[in-house]
Amino acid sequence: MHLKRTLIKKLIGEGKTYKEVQKIIGCSAKMISNALKWRAKPERRGRKRKTTIKMDRRITRMAKAQPMISSRMIKDSLELPVSTVTVRRRLCEANLFSRIPRKVPLLKKRHVQKRLQFAKEHVNWPKEKWRNILWTDESKIVLFGSKESTASCESGLGLARLALTRAWSTASNRFLESSARV
């Protein structure tokens, strides 16, 4: 259709009459009339955006510079004529999703000193000793589908009672043993 439309416009532009164009292309006079009236419309659906591309960049830049800032503060500081929900939508479009910061206990001086002392005492421990420690991320471990903190297990040595413990761990460690026997 697009090729016919351009051909019709070209032939009419050369000074041909509707009858001559009809014979060349093999179409109706109404089709020629519609082809001449036709204008390309921009592809738009839905409501018109309230923010411009420049506003979107400013919102994104501010959120990246200050990750803890709220959408209301962004709206107020940039004096945007949109709601805070629109600001959040623009941030999501820029792959900046809201997150709640993790709450961690504040370390006091004595905590830092104790951690440092522990690290200094255990810096030369061999891997075999570290393998005897159960490392967890403070998650409750459930054995055999029970929700209790202890579970029973049959082994070659008979019935052994398994106790689950929690331990502080570094970010780079992993589970070395699955349980600690009591």
Mean pLDDT of 89-116: 87
pLDDT score for 164: 34
In this predicted model, which residue has the larger pLDDT, 25 or 146? Answer: 25
- Using CA atoms, how far apart are residues 41 and 134, in angstroms rounded to an integer? 66
Q: Which helix (H) or strand (E) holds 181?
A: strand 180-181
pLDDT for the residue 37: 87
Which pLDDT belongs to residue 165? Answer: 33
Percent of the chain with pLDDT over 90: 27
pLDDT range class, residue 181, cuts 50, 70, 90: very low
Q: How many Å apart are CA 13 and CA 15, to the nearest integer?
A: 5
Least confident of 20-24, 99-103, 160-164: 160-164
**DSSP assignment of 76-123, as one string?**
HHHT-SS-HHHHHHHHHHTT----PPPP-PPPPHHHHHHHHHHHHHHT
| pTM for this entry | 0.40
Predicted confidence at residue 36, as pLDDT, reads: 86
Task: Give residue 133's pLDDT band: very low, low, confident or very high (50, 70, 90).
Answer: confident
What average pLDDT does the segment 86-104 reach?
87
pLDDT at 81 over 90: yes
Of 154, 152, 155, 174, the C-alpha closest to 163 is 152
Confidence of residue 138 (pLDDT cuts 50, 70, 90): low
pLDDT of residue 153: 37
